[in-house]
């Protein structure tokens, strides 16, 4: 850390010699935020606190009410102002008791985790023969009625990739599989977890309700079912699952600000989501995102004073949906004031690439930002951002400029939505790298007059 700091102070001095005063200030400021971030403990302490003092926090649960209070206290403790709790209504699904077992030809307990919006089984469970498909396309190729009375099983595997591309490639088998299986007559649905790990822990996640019980299998359980089915004898499974769905639960988008010196200079909006799935403690998904953006804003402002306001939002219903729409509805009149928006929601893996709005790369502020993060091994893409995060999608659709900071997702899908999403999986050094990138960005953008809107870059 010491050598890096020396090197980058030298780099900043070189840059300063060739640039006008404002650019020099921007570069020095962004570099200073970066260096402080690399040894700062704020993000770790926020993530540790949320996962230890609250733990899992499903929208609509008592834990989410405690999380809301935690959010308010945490913002205040870190010196934020204008702390706001915006209440909205979301849909909440709650897991009850769940079990699954192979009843023939050889008995086995299966490790499952119900998918969000799964139905319950009839009381006492249901037992049926499985119809196993090694790809989701194989299931979709089944005609109507072909799965009548069966438990459909899809065992397509997710590939590991730095950019998380494997998740999208097989995502539909979790999101839409139950509904598609039900259309074809299935009475239950089991899907290999969208996971890159081989542990016996299943990964849950959102799904379109199909009116049938639907659950994720752990990787080894999916492979066990394949091996059982390969023997050519009928394989029967008993599912016993309970859950509760509430179409109206209270949810909260909680925000706080570090006001800029110029109230008319606009607001930068960044954050992560406060809600989580229930099996883990919601560490990489998404205590990390909250911790990174809160710490980045705090460190950027501490290097101020900054002209523009930075707002950090803890969105309250990303996993089961609703935060994005609620946030847009409450802030649509503010879109024109939004300098830029962005969300951190891929854990704490290091940022390996950034995408900035078209035309902004060569503004002195973004030059300063790029210079500051070059030692952090971050690629600067010349392509426009594609996705700013699920919780800012509403703002983006309404015209807010957005950034995309791509994190290394190689390990993220080992963990997310599973019991393994715990604090120990966050690497403090990688977490700090994220804070350094976000912090340098916020400082440079909030300390300048950069305009990220298409065609208006200056």
**Site residues for a copy of itself per CB under 8 A:** 48, 52-55, 63, 106-108, 111, 198-201, 219-220, 223-224, 227-228, 231, 279-281, 418-420, 422-425
* Least gap, CB of 192 to a copy of itself (angstroms): 12
Closer Cβ to a copy of itself, 62 or 143, answer by number: 62
DSSP for 208-274, written as a single string: ---SS-EEEEPHHHHHHHHHHHTTSS--EEEEEEEEEEEEEEEEEEEEEEE--S-TTS-EEEEEEE-
Closer Cβ to a copy of itself, 210 or 279, answer by number: 279
Closer Cβ to a copy of itself, 37 or 54, answer by number: 54
Query: Beta partners for 407?
Result: 351
Query: Which of 447, 392, 445, 431 has the alpha carbon at shortest distance from 295?
Result: 431
382-390: list long-range contacts, CB under 8 Å, 24+ apart.
Answer: 383/355, 384/355, 384/357, 384/358, 385/355, 385/356, 385/357, 386/355, 388/341, 388/342, 388/343, 389/342, 389/343, 389/344, 389/345, 390/273, 390/318, 390/323, 390/324, 390/343, 390/345
Closer Cβ to a copy of itself, 111 or 350, answer by number: 111
* Least gap, CB of 225 to a copy of itself (angstroms): 10
**DSSP conformation class of 323:** H
**DSSP conformation class of 4:** H
**Lateral strand order in the sheet of 379-380:** 379-380, 351-355, 404-407
Query: Which of 45, 80, 56 has the alpha carbon at shortest distance from 286?
Result: 56
Q: At what angle do helices 62-77 and 42-53 cross, to 10 degrees?
A: 150
Closer Cβ to a copy of itself, 110 or 365, answer by number: 110
Which pair of structure tokens corresponds to residue 225? 């079912």
* Least gap, CB of 363 to a copy of itself (angstroms): 43
d(CA 191, CA 208): 13
How many helices and strands (H and E) does the chain possess? 14, 14
* Least gap, CB of 79 to a copy of itself (angstroms): 22
* Least gap, CB of 65 to a copy of itself (angstroms): 13
* Least gap, CB of 298 to a copy of itself (angstroms): 22
* Least gap, CB of 108 to a copy of itself (angstroms): 5
Residues 362, 26 contacting (CB under 8 angstroms): no
DSSP for 369-394, written as a single string: HHHHHGGGT-EE-SSPPS---GGGHH
d(CA 347, CA 162): 13
* Least gap, CB of 280 to a copy of itself (angstroms): 7
Closer Cβ to a copy of itself, 226 or 325, answer by number: 226
Closer Cβ to a copy of itself, 114 or 271, answer by number: 114
| Bridge-based pairing state of the strands 379-380 and 351-355 | parallel
Residues 409, 349 contacting (CB under 8 angstroms): yes
């Amino acid at each position: 850390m010491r050598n890096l700091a020396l090197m980058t102070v030298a780099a900043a001095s070189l840059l300063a010699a060739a640039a006008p005063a404002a650019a020099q200030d921007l570069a020095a400021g962004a570099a200073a935020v970066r260096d402080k971030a690399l040894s700062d403990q704020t993000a770790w302490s926020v993530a540790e606190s949320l996962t230890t003092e609250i733990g899992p926090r499903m929208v609509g649960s008592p834990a989410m009410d405690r999380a809301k209070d935690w959010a308010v206290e945490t913002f205040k403790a870190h010196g934020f102002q204008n702390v706001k709790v915006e209440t909205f209504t979301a849909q909440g699904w709650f897991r009850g008791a769940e079990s699954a077992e192979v009843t023939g030809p050889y008995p086995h307990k299966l490790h499952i985790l119900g998918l969000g919006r799964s139905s319950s089984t009839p009381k006492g469970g249901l037992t049926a023969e499985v119809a196993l498909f090694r790809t989701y396309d194989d299931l979709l190729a089944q005609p109507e009625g072909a799965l009548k009375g069966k438990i459909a099983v899809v065992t397509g595997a997710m590939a590991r990739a730095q950019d998380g591309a494997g998740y999208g490639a097989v995502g539909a088998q979790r999101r839409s599989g139950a509904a598609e299986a039900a259309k074809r007559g299935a009475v239950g649905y089991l899907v290999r977890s969208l996971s890159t790990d081989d542990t016996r822990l299943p990964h849950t996640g959102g799904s379109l309700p199909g009116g049938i019980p639907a659950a994720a299998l752990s990787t080894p359980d999916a492979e066990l079912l394949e091996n059982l089915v390969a023997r050519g004898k009928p394989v029967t499974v008993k599912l016993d699952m309970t859950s509760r769905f509430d179409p109206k639960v209270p949810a909260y988008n909680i925000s706080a600000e570090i006001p800029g010196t110029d109230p008319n200079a606009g607001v930068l909006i960044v954050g992560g989501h406060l809600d989580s799935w229930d099996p883990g403690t919601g560490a990489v998904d998404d205590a990390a995102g909250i911790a990174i953006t809160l710490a980045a804003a705090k460190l950027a402002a501490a290097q101020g004073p900054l002209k523009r306001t930075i707002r950090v939002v803890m969105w309250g219903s990303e996993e089961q949906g609703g935060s994005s729409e609620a946030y847009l509805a409450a802030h649509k009149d503010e879109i024109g004031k939004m300098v830029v928006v962005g969300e951190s929601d891929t854990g704490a893996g290091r940022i390996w690439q950034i995408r900035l709005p078209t035309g902004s790369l060569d503004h002195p502020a973004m030059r300063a930002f790029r210079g500051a993060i070059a030692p952090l091994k971050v690629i600067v893409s010349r392509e426009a951002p594609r996705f700013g995060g699920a919780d800012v999608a509403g703002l983006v659709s309404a015209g807010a400029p957005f950034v995309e900071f791509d994190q290394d997702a190689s390990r993220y899908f080992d963990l997310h939505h599973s019991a393994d999403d715990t604090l120990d999986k966050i690497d403090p050094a990688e977490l700090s790298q994220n804070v350094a990138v976000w912090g340098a960005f916020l400082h440079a953008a909030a300390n300048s007059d950069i305009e990220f809107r298409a065609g208006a870059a200056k």
